[in-house]
Amino acid sequence: MMDFLWASFLLLLWLFSYLLVRYFSLQRRRKHPTSTTSLGSLPSPPALPIIGHLHLLGPLMHRYLHRLSNRYGPLFHLRLGSLGSVVVASSASMAEEFLKTHELSFTSRPGVSGSEYSGDETGGFTLSPYGPYWKFLKKLSVTRLFSNKMLQQTVGIRREELLFFLDSLYRKSRAGEAADLGLALTALSNNVISRMLMSERCSGSANEAEKCREAVEEILEMTWKLNTLTTWGHFWGFDLFGYRKRLKVVHRTYKMLMERIMDDHERKEKQRREMGGGEVKENEDIMDILLRVSKDEEAEVKMNRDNVRVFITDIFTAGTETSSKALLWALSELINHPQIFQKAREEIESIVGKSRVVEESDIPNLPYLQAVVKETLRLHPVAPVIIRECSQDCRVMGVDILKGTKLFVNVWTIGRDAASWPEDPLEFRPERFLTMSGTDQNGGGGPIDIKGQHFQLLPFGRGRRMCLGYPLAIPVIQATLAATVQCFDWKPVGQPDPSRIKMEEKDGFTVSLAHPLHCIPVPHLNPTV
């Protein structure tokens, strides 16, 4: 017993001494920096030993970073536990400096705790460093998986799922029942992605596509919790809460499910060839393409089955998270602003009429509807903070930034910055996008878009590391929002104020509404006509 107490005393004494030395060392460095252009020269709040500035942040990190930017300016420095040094950019000009002028130094993303259990050492498309493998996946995505040709080939899938979604709402309306719009929109996005990936619907059934979706959701949840803890220090590696253990189990389950689905695809392909079908590339899904690429001996980069599986996961999460949560924010804003809702409906009816449901091909003729989507993504970017890692020593704005330094670009703050949005930046006003113009990456002017060309609006990031699911997410968001506005009015239930949706946020890898959105759909146009 005495030995244990003595050992505990020595441990506490050592820890106290370490913290004391560390604290005074940091204070001395802060008062006498070795270089006037080091990170130490940037504005920075007072820090605590070991954890640095973690105590200044909270679950909704973008909001805490926003408060700090109000005090310390559009570019400041933090030290965040195990993440180390972090540079925070909170204005369009600073975002342009890092993501355009010095883009090649910030094309990598920091590693994520728990990714080692995926079985893919590359980290997949989302986490792999900027290099030959990442470039190969990017090229494959642009030229094959999300090319204009593929999006045209799959427009029928998106249309069928949209009509199925509208029909389910119409049946709810006839029964006078409220719909959980969060669940309904997630199911729509999941089914679109699942059919494009593996030719199977995943919602409302017990098939393997549905089990894969459930596994992916749990992987995201456990990974988020694990990374939130490990940021505070590596001692959380003891797995006190069992997140690592659970991640191992769910990754193993997911791998077995995906192996069966890939085997099934290969078996069908072999049967078709044996029956004299030859090599048919029309109407193939994304998994067919990836499996064929993995067997191509002449491919620029060799992919294995683990690579295919993790890449499928990246596509699943990028496509579903962006679309469903952005749609939920858009509908909430429209319900809270009935005049804007009515204006959007009048535009749709003037172009489409009242005899059919709006289609993707109608969207280019609906500028106000497009403005509603842009305004939603300005105020409610699903990924509010762009996170990068410096891959090489560089000098930005006269400041020396070392390799390994993290970069946070607070898109949420930029979307509310009066310097970029001079007229009522906190108000939901789609009309601003019909009159405002911005400067694109080539220095020319034009309407502000969401493709990463204008730095005051970056909901999908920009440049080489732009969101993988962007080409698919935009048509899904626009067409679905247009159809729900055209076909239904909405009566919220379960809200403190029946005429207004509570716009509180729930944290995670992506930001969504904190509370479920339940509404009774009231038919305006029968979607089954």
Q: Between the ranges 11-20, 114-123, 216-225, 347-356, where is the mean pLDDT highest?
A: 347-356
DSSP 325-391: HHHHHHHHHHHH-HHHHHHHHHHHHHHH-SSS---GGGGGG-HHHHHHHHHHHHHS-SS-EEEEE--
Q: For 118, what's the count of Cα atoms within 13 Å in the CB-facing half-sphere? A: 30
Q: How confident is the model at residue 494 (pLDDT cuts 50, 70, 90)?
A: confident
Please name which of 273, 313, 314 lies closest in space to residue 295, comparing C-alpha atoms.
Answer: 273
Q: How confident is the model at residue 10 (pLDDT cuts 50, 70, 90)?
A: very low
Residue 467 counted as an annotated binding residue: yes
Question: Does residue 472 have a pLDDT over 70?
Answer: yes
Q: Which residues pair with 518 in a beta bridge?
A: 180, 493
Q: How confident is the model at residue 440 (pLDDT cuts 50, 70, 90)?
A: low
- Mean pLDDT for the chain overall: 85
pLDDT digits (tens, 9 = 90+) for 142-181: 888 888 999 999 999 999 999 999 999 999 999 999 999 9
Provide φ and ψ at 488, rounded to 5°: -140, 150
By 3-state DSSP, what share of the chain in percent is helix, strand and coil, each rounded to 5? 55, 10, 35
Mean pLDDT of 252-273: 86
Question: Does residue 187 have a pLDDT over 70?
Answer: yes
Q: How confident is the model at residue 35 (pLDDT cuts 50, 70, 90)?
A: very low
**Cα distance between the two ends of the chain:** 81
- Name the DSSP class of 449: -
| Whole-number pLDDT of residue 315 | 85
Q: How confident is the model at residue 7 (pLDDT cuts 50, 70, 90)?
A: very low
Question: Does residue 529 have a pLDDT over 60?
Answer: yes
pLDDT digits (tens, 9 = 90+) for 290-310: 999 988 888 888 888 888 888
| Contact of 138 with 464, CB cutoff 8 Å | yes
| Whole-number pLDDT of residue 463 | 86
Share of residues in the chain with pLDDT > 90 (%): 44
